[in-house]
Structure 1
């Protein structure tokens, strides 16, 4: 009985020890070069289509992306990234989250 109880406790303990010994330390994990070298460039508000805006920006869905394109079509090219605040549904917090992802090339 004593050996049976002891084996029930030892089996999970050995399994955990075995998994932790086989795990690679965080410094040994390598990242593929393709992922590291793929730095996203800034998205130009004056040339991006709705699909690009939707996929590249945080918190921008299909409707807001289309609103940005519609605003650009109606009012002309964006002069600054801050002009995005004029688009209905785009607030300061949303702009701040995406500012580093956007540019306006004139």
Structure 2
């Protein structure tokens, strides 16, 4: 909905302060990011596909653990609404872990 914002954007017509903050930060730094030499982007292709998939799987597994910790905090404080949202995130992340595990396992058979 146009004209409605949330959090830091409330009352700004939806444009938010973030863009302005980014411009201010850039000016405060004196355009430092413009003076830095351009670095070549990371090349994930340099790593074997199976290792990249395993890395994603491990990252998602770690995310599940952190989400469960956050869920425990919500339970301790009786925040049922946030706990419910976290349960959805946990389920989705666990599905990604499973998918990445199976993808990694099957990619090992192809090589």
> Larger relative CO (CA 8 A, sep 6+): 1 or 2?
1
Give the TM-score taking structure 1 as reference length: 0.26
Give the TM-score taking structure 2 as reference length: 0.25
The structure with the larger Rg is: 1
Name the one with the larger helix percent: 2
